[in-house]
Amino acid sequence: MTDPKTKDEKREEIMRRVKEGRAETIWFWFPDILGQIKGVALTPRELERALVDGAGFDGSSVEGFARIEESDLMAVPDLDTFVWLPAVGNAAAPKEARLMCDLYTPDGKPYAGDPRGVLKRQIEKVKSRGYTFFVGPEMEYFYFDGPNPEAFFDRTGYFDASIMNRGTVIRQATLNALEKMGIECEYAHHEVAPSQHELDIHYMDALSMADTVLTVRFIVKEIAREFGAHATFMPKPRVGINGSGMHCHQSIFRGEENLFFARDDNYNLSPFAYSYIAGILYHIRGITLVLNQFANSYKRIVPGYEAPVYISWGQKNRSALVRVPRVRVGREKASRIELRSPDPVCNPYFAFAAMLAAGMDFQYPLSDRRGCNVAYPKVRVGAIGTFSILCRIGEGATKGK
């Protein structure tokens, strides 16, 4: 959430923290079109100017950005995103901090290709109606003993409780680093596949969460490297085992009111929530190319490995594309839906923007509010495994008149 301080007050606060914390490097981070972190490092001497003017860079050298003849871009920091980076490997190492940035053209206009700007524009559409879009992703990933996908740390499985397992030790070090940065994880545990782990990030607004997803991926890999391991969020690093997804829990609030909640409904879902589900189901073919952007993404989404392969929704059912969790029945703030197809290497800014835009397209009423609570529907509507995925939506939503 934004700080009520003025911009000048925020800049003064950042400069004070940098001076008192004796930071030697301040990073300006921004995502490229694939959701990878790009950044420029500044000294404290240059920071005061850059907090106002931003830092210029060659946009044509960043994947998916400007053409060579229009390459100049400015990374302007979001003053609410200052955070200290953990001192990985050496507590006496020079202190570093980071700020997330929005991108602008030299004439001061927002750059249209900025992934962060794409999400902000979509959020503004619902913010104008008094709504806040919340997201809580489950981020799955693997540890390997080096880059070899055969080199598992363990042969254990879901919820393994070992405290001395090498993967558990690295995961705990990662949790400690994230907590020091102010990033809260609700749960952390071993996943189904060997050497596979999961971090469940505490619910927050979509823009803060997208920044957090980038940061978590960075910290997970850096901590693993310090332990001589290799961490990967690759959706399917090895055949024959479960892949890594990024199941996205989501809801929309108006102030303190959860617009997805209805106490008298069997699923505790409101008409607003049903319409949101229908929008996701109807548009899933188009947005999947954003939620699952690499060829390897489609090696994960095959039958038999807990990944959704049909356009369906259901209560509790973990084979459904859209699931309605039933952990805290009747509690308003806990009412939400879970989209299970995204993977953890997606660009979170584009992914959250696409989910929100699809869900808020309310012209597609849900045709069947009973959901699908069998392992798989009888009719395979379209396997997620090729680029002609999820071929039609007739079983889940019908276009309104």
Output the DSSP codes for 317-365: -TTSSEEE--SSTT-GGG--EEE----TTS-HHHHHHHHHHHHT-TTS-
Residues 52-78, mean pLDDT to the nearest whole number: 77
Closest CA to 40 of 32, 29, 50: 29
Q: Is the pLDDT of residue 318 over 80?
A: no
Confidence at residue 88, expressed as pLDDT on a 0 to 100 scale:
64
Contact 319, 375 (CB under 8 A): yes
pLDDT band with cut points at 50, 70 and 90 for residue 383: very low
The one-letter amino acid at 386: T
Measured from the Cβ of residue 161, the count of other Cβ atoms closer than 10 Å reads 9
Can you tell me the distance from the alpha carbon of 209 to that of 105, in angstroms, rounded to the nearest whole number? 25
Residues 105-123, mean pLDDT to the nearest whole number: 93
Contact 235, 343 (CB under 8 A): yes
Residues 6+ apart with CB under 8 A from 386: 298
**Higher-pLDDT residue of 377, 21:** 21
Confidence at residue 398, expressed as pLDDT on a 0 to 100 scale:
38
Q: Is the pLDDT of residue 99 over 70?
A: yes
The SS3 assignment for 139 reads strand
Cα angle 242-248-254, degrees, rounded to a multiple of 5: 170
Can you tell me the distance from the alpha carbon of 398 to that of 367, in angstroms, rounded to the nearest whole number? 6
Residues 345-369, mean pLDDT to the nearest whole number: 89
Per-residue pLDDT tens over the stretch 236-250 = 999 889 999 999 999
What is the sign of the dihedral through the CA atoms of 347, 137, 303 and 195?
positive
Which of 15-24, 144-153, 185-194, 284-293 is the least confident region?
Answer: 144-153
Closest CA to 336 of 257, 260, 263: 260
Residue 25 belongs to what H/E stretch? strand 23-31
What is the sign of the dihedral through the CA atoms of 329, 323, 317 and 202?
negative
Q: Is the pLDDT of residue 161 over 90?
A: no
Confidence at residue 292, expressed as pLDDT on a 0 to 100 scale:
96
Report the CATH architecture of 123-359: 2-Layer Sandwich (3.30)
Per-residue pLDDT tens over the stretch 250-306 = 999 999 999 999 988 888 899 999 999 999 999 998 999 999 999 999 999 888 888
Can you tell me the distance from the alpha carbon of 118 to that of 104, in angstroms, rounded to the nearest whole number? 13
In the chain, CATH 3.10.20.70 covers 7-111
Q: Is the pLDDT of residue 15 over 80?
A: yes
| Residue 386 per-residue DSSP state | B
pLDDT band with cut points at 50, 70 and 90 for residue 75: very high
Helices (H) and strands (E) in the chain, counts: 8, 16
| Residue 64 per-residue DSSP state | T
Confidence at residue 156, expressed as pLDDT on a 0 to 100 scale:
78
Whole-number percent of the chain with pLDDT over 70: 82
Q: Which fold has domain 7-111?
A: Ubiquitin-like (UB roll) (3.10.20)
Contact 329, 372 (CB under 8 A): no
Confidence at residue 373, expressed as pLDDT on a 0 to 100 scale:
47
Q: Is the pLDDT of residue 376 over 60?
A: no
Average pLDDT over the chain reads 84
